[in-house]
Amino acid sequence: MRFRFPGFGRQESVHDYVGVLVPLEEAHLHSHSARSGRCEFEEARTSSDDPEVDVSEAGAPKDSDNEDAGMLQMSAAEYSIEGLRREVRKGQRQGQWSEYELKSKLINKAIQDIGMGRYNWQLFVLCGFGWFADNLWMQGVSLTLPSLSAEFGVSEKQVRYTTSSLFVGLCIGSFTWGLGSDIVGRRIAFNATLLITSIFGIWAAYASSWVSVCILFACLGTGVGGNLPVDGALFLEILPDSSSALLTLLSVWWPVGQLVSSIFAWYFMTNWPVEEGWRHFVMTIGIITFIMFLIRFGVFHLFESPKFLLSKGRQAEAVAVVHGIAHRNKKKTWLTEEILDAVVDSEGTERTTTRVSATNIIKQNLMSFSVDHIRPLFQNRKLGTATLLMWFCWSTIGLGYPLFNAFLPQYLSHGGSGAPTNDNTTPAETYRNYAIISVVGVPGSLLAAYTVDHKSPFLGRKGTLAISTLVSAIFLFLFATFGTTPNSQLFFTCVEAFCQNIMYGVLYAFTPEIFPAPVRGAGTGVASFLNRVTGLIAPILAANVPGDGTTTPIYMSAFLILAAFGGMVLIPIETRGRQRL
**CB 154 within 8 Å of CB 148:** yes
Q: What is residue 360's predicted lDDT score, i.e. its pLDDT?
A: 55
Please state, in angstroms and rounded to a whole number, the distance separating the CA atoms of residues 140 and 362. 33
Please state, in angstroms and rounded to a whole number, the distance separating the CA atoms of residues 46 and 52. 9
At residue 98, φ and ψ (nearest 5 deg) are -85, 160
Residue 424 is inside which H or E element, if any? none
Q: How far is the CA of 164 from the CAs of 423, 468, 537, in angstroms?
A: 28, 27, 8
Nearest partner of 464 among 453, 476, 475, judged by Cα = 453
Measure CA of the first residue to CA of the last residue in the chain; give whole Å.
Answer: 42
Please state, in angstroms and rounded to a whole number, the distance separating the CA atoms of residues 149 and 134. 23
* 55: pLDDT strictly greater than 50: no
Q: Lowest-pLDDT range, 17-21, 57-61, 98-102? A: 57-61
Please state, in angstroms and rounded to a whole number, the distance separating the CA atoms of residues 86 and 293. 43
For residue 350, give the 3-state DSSP assignment: strand
Please state, in angstroms and rounded to a whole number, the distance separating the CA atoms of residues 540 and 519. 33
* Burial environment of residue 361 by CB neighbours within 10 A (0 to 12, 13 to 18, 19 or more): middle
Residue 537 is inside which H or E element, if any? helix 520-544
Q: Lowest-pLDDT range, 43-47, 89-93, 416-420, 431-435? A: 43-47
**CB 562 within 8 Å of CB 499:** no
Integer Rg of the chain from CA? 26
* 185: pLDDT strictly greater than 80: no
Q: Lowest-pLDDT range, 4-8, 83-87, 484-488? A: 4-8
Q: How far is the CA of 319 from the CAs of 66, 68, 113, 313, in angstroms?
A: 26, 21, 14, 12
Q: What is residue 292's predicted lDDT score, i.e. its pLDDT?
A: 94
* Most confident by average pLDDT, 9-13, 221-225, 472-476: 472-476
At residue 453, φ and ψ (nearest 5 deg) are -110, 10
Indicate the DSSP class of residue 334: -
- Side chain identity, residue 282: V
pLDDT tens for 263-318 read: 998 899 888 898 899 999 999 999 999 999 999 888 888 888 888 888 778 888 88
At residue 333, φ and ψ (nearest 5 deg) are -145, 155
Please state, in angstroms and rounded to a whole number, the distance separating the CA atoms of residues 356 and 62. 36
The region, left, alpha or beta by phi > 0 then psi within -120 to 50, assigned to residue 515 is: beta
**Mean pLDDT, residues 56-67:** 39
Percent of the chain with pLDDT over 70: 75
pLDDT tens for 95-114 read: 567 777 788 888 888 888 88
* DSSP, residue by residue, 29-84: GGSHHHHTT---SSPPP-STTSTT--GGGGTS-S-TT-HHHHHHS--GGG-SHHHH
For residue 333, give the 3-state DSSP assignment: strand
Q: Lowest-pLDDT range, 109-123, 487-501, 541-555, 560-574? A: 541-555
- Side chain identity, residue 451: T
**Mean pLDDT, residues 66-85:** 61
For residue 97, give the 3-state DSSP assignment: strand
**CB 503 within 8 Å of CB 469:** yes
- Name the band, by pLDDT with cuts 50, 70 and 90, for residue 414: low
For residue 349, give the 3-state DSSP assignment: strand
- Side chain identity, residue 13: S
Chain CA centroid to CA 460, Å: 20
For residue 474, give the 3-state DSSP assignment: helix
Please state, in angstroms and rounded to a whole number, the distance separating the CA atoms of residues 280 and 444. 30
Q: How far is the CA of 68 from the CAs of 114, 237, 306, 336, 527, in angstroms?
A: 16, 15, 19, 22, 25
* Burial environment of residue 5 by CB neighbours within 10 A (0 to 12, 13 to 18, 19 or more): exposed
Residues 165/259/499/396 CA torsion (nearest 10 deg): 10
**CB 390 within 8 Å of CB 526:** no
Q: What is residue 547's predicted lDDT score, i.e. its pLDDT?
A: 64
Please state, in angstroms and rounded to a whole number, the distance separating the CA atoms of residues 287 and 11. 31
Indicate the DSSP class of residue 27: G
Q: Lowest-pLDDT range, 45-49, 218-222, 265-269? A: 45-49
Q: Give the predicted TM-score (pTM) of the model.
A: 0.77
